[in-house]
Amino acid sequence: MSARRGTAGTIGRKSGADPFREGLFSGLRDVASPGRSSRFDPFRHGVLNGRELLAEAARGAASGDAALGARLLRLAGNGEDALAAFAAILRADPACASAWAGRWELKLSRGTRDDGIGRAVALEPRRAAWRAWRGLRLLRRDARRARADLEAAAGDSGPAGVLARVGLHAFSARGGRGRRGTEALDRAIACAPREGWLRRLRALARLRAADEPGFVSDFEAQNLLDEGIGTLTKALDREGPYDPPRFLARADRALKARGRVYWLVALRGDLRRSPEIGDLPGSLRDWEEAAGLAPRPGWVLAHLARARQSVGDARGALEAAAAAVAAEPECGWIRVWLAEVRRKYGDSAGALRDADAGLALDADYEIGYACRGAALRALGRSADALADLEKATALAPRLGWAARERDLARASVL
């Protein structure tokens, strides 16, 4: 029942296949949010891949790789069976490092203390994942030991190395060594260039270093990878909570002092449309202006489409959404926003086509599943719709319209 002890993921080597999905560590959010990434967030990975994980777990157990099977059960959300499997493995083979580490990670996600990661490191001291996991967990209580673990794992070029470099960034930032921390993020991004949350981390690091052009550049990259205009609010207040009225006043002052900076105009447009303010005409004026000022206007045009839609301009909304897709054809969420505009104006077939294309570009975007599910339901395909809408509401429980669509689909199926 022992797990395979291959060399993938060992320190200083290029990782091959990652059968244990070593970037999926429940303790990461204590250090940095992985955003929408299903490659670094265990919960989102399970929601999007649950059925496949269960099938793979069965194959792993059947092939004799019981620790892999237990880990996949955990990622699929079947924690009780995973705990039982890990316990059985460790009774039969107390030297199975993967089982010690996997059980520890699962218990950590439940807030339960366990010494398994220490056992895993002792058994496989060169396994980058175990050192990265322990290093991230130690950051708040033993920075010296954490740094040693993270530096030991940072040579890995796979997910474990990315985790280690994120931890080293956090260690350096807390110690006032911002430049070294940014260099750690540079290396993480080189290993995982499609991870928007890493760009956000570096954007904020550059903002702290008073590098505004670098901040804006990383925001632009992050926003195209993982829709999130909220990062711009940090330029107004790096530490404070989201507060549209206060931020709007700050944006007004910044624009008066600095002139028509496109991203500040765009940010003000977003703040004006918030429920706390509700100035939809003012928001539209800002987005129209920002679209004319932006050097790379694709994401601005997507927001302009929503602003036009908010004031009842159907044709203008469709034109702006289509222009946004033409400007950024590889951006998944922008294609999904075009799908959603089509859906709201009754073009369910067009919405389905664009939602499919958007999800092919970005399978992590919950709005894509919600939009595609709603389009499928409108086309009479409620069973297919329900699968998408269940995913969307699991990923985003506060998405009220998706929950209503899900309930309608359920009623049709039952």
Contact status, residue 160 vs residue 15, Cβ threshold 8 Å: yes
CB atoms closer than 10 angstroms to residue 225 = 25
Q: Is the confidence at residue 166, as pLDDT, over 50?
A: yes
Q: Is the confidence at residue 62, as pLDDT, over 90?
A: no
Average pLDDT in the chain: 93
pLDDT at 380: 97
pLDDT at 65: 87
Q: Give the sign of the dihedral formed by CA 71, CA 73, CA 78, CA 82.
A: negative
Boundaries of domain holding 32: 28-211
Q: Percent of the chain at pLDDT above 70?
A: 95
Contact status, residue 55 vs residue 82, Cβ threshold 8 Å: no
Number of domains observed in the structure of the chain: 1
Is 326 among the domain residues? no
Nearest C-alpha neighbor of 374 from the set 354, 330, 316: 354
Contact status, residue 202 vs residue 182, Cβ threshold 8 Å: yes
pLDDT at 13: 35
What string of DSSP letters covers 325-336? HHH-TT-HHHHH
Q: What is the CATH number of the domain that holds 34?
A: 1.25.40.10
The mean pLDDT of 23-51, rounded to a whole number, is 96
Q: Is the confidence at residue 20, as pLDDT, over 90?
A: no
pLDDT in tens, 329-338: 999 999 999 9
Q: Give the sign of the dihedral formed by CA 19, CA 58, CA 81, CA 384.
A: positive
Q: How confident is the model at residue 6 (pLDDT cuts 50, 70, 90)?
A: very low
pLDDT at 2: 34
pLDDT in tens, 98-136: 999 999 999 999 999 889 999 999 999 999 999 999 999
Is 110 among the domain residues? yes
pLDDT in tens, 279-289: 999 999 999 99
Is 34 among the domain residues? yes
Global pTM? 0.92
The mean pLDDT of 38-45, rounded to a whole number, is 96
pLDDT in tens, 358-378: 999 999 999 999 999 999 999
Residue whose pair of structure tokens reads 């993270």 in the numeric block = 150
pLDDT at 18: 53
Q: Percent of the chain at pLDDT above 90?
A: 88
pLDDT at 46: 96
The structure tokens listed for 190 are 């080189």
Nearest C-alpha neighbor of 370 from the set 330, 334, 343: 343
pLDDT at 19: 54
Rounded Cα gap, residues 256 and 261, in angstroms = 10
Nearest C-alpha neighbor of 32 from the set 181, 266, 201: 201
Q: Is 146 exposed, middle or buried (0-12, 13-18, 19+ CB in 10 A)?
A: buried
Is 217 among the domain residues? no
Nearest C-alpha neighbor of 199 from the set 240, 227, 241: 227
Is 11 among the domain residues? no
pLDDT at 76: 95
Q: Is the confidence at residue 163, as pLDDT, over 80?
A: yes
Is 35 among the domain residues? yes
The mean pLDDT of 316-343, rounded to a whole number, is 98
Is 130 among the domain residues? yes
Is 363 among the domain residues? no
